[in-house]
Every structure is written in structure tokens, then in C-alpha cells.
Amino acid sequence: MLRPHALIALLILLFAGPCRAAVMSGWVVWVVDGDTLHLMDEAGERHRIRLSGINAPEKDKPFAQGARDQLVSLVQGKRVSVYWDKVDKYERIVGKVVSEGRDINLALIRTGYALWYRRFAQEQNPVDQMLYENAEQAAKREGAGLWSGQRR
């Protein structure tokens, strides 16, 4: 039986659709906030990465530090791959961050420290849309992170 992380990685590969995404690998050298980090690539070049499909609280909002701490615990100092095909208006590479086969963007939603960013759902493949929406619903039900005190 496949471990959950391996199953997710397999689903990503099988259902990602036509591969338009570029892949960048390197080490996370700084976590700015709950949805932005800096990556040092193989050539020693630093890149600003905005995690796609999610939105974490801004620095001056409640749970912002918790979201940043959660991302730090998942990726700080680790080697990651970023699957991307977009640069935002702030010149950040926007992509899915994967560490050891684990979708870090999805992990942040599951912990309740990020929302599924529905505004950009059309940029995701259908499997990711389903996984991200289900993770957000589970976080809400469990009262995790942003949803604490709001159990349904």
C-alpha cells in the first residue's frame, strides 16, 4: 500500500495534465511569511517563491506568525522542488512546493494556516482543486489554525 505522501505525488504526476510547468529545485533559505519563501538554486541564485493555490494571513493579521512558523517547520533548510509556470506582479515565482514527495501548499491548508485560494482555482488541475478544497473543509471541521473556535 502506498503511503499518503507517495499517493499524492503519484496523483500529481498522473493528473497534472499537459506539462507546462517548469521545475526549479534548491534549498529553502528564508521563509518570509505563510505563503512566501526564498529558495537558493543549484547555481547559488536566490529566488522568491509564492506558494500557488493558497493564501495565508498577512504579517499584521491574526495567525500570521503561526502560518509562518508552520511553513518554517515544513521547509526551512530543506531541499524542495517548485513546479511553476507564472511570475506574479511582485516578480515572485508562483508554484507548488514539494518536499520529499509532499505538497507543502496542501499541507498548509490541512493544518488550517492557509486558505484554498479559490480566486486562482482555474490555474490548478482538477485533482489539486479537489484536494485543496477537501483539505480546507477538513481544517474547518477540526477547528484547526484559522478555524479555531469555529468548529461546525
The tens digit of pLDDT for each residue in 29-43 reads 999 999 999 999 999
Instruction: Give the rounded percent of residues in the chain with a pLDDT score beyond 70.
Output: 85
Q: Is 92 a catalytic residue?
A: yes
Residue 109 included in any domain = yes
Q: Is 152 a catalytic residue?
A: no
Query: Once rounded to an integer, what is the mean pLDDT over residues 91-117?
Result: 97
Query: Once rounded to an integer, what is the mean pLDDT over residues 6-35?
Result: 75
> Domains in the chain: how many in total?
1
Cα 2 to Cα 16, 76, 94: the distances in Å are: 19, 26, 29
Residue 151 included in any domain = no
Residue 113 included in any domain = yes
Task: Give me the CATH number covering residue 10.
Answer: 2.40.50.90
Residue 37 included in any domain = yes
Quote the domain boundaries for residue 110. 4-143
Among the listed residues 3, 46, 58, 79, the single catalytic one is 58
Give this prediction's pTM.
Answer: 0.84
Cα 79 to Cα 25, 56, 71: the distances in Å are: 7, 22, 14
| CB-CB contact of 80 with 107 (8 Å) | no
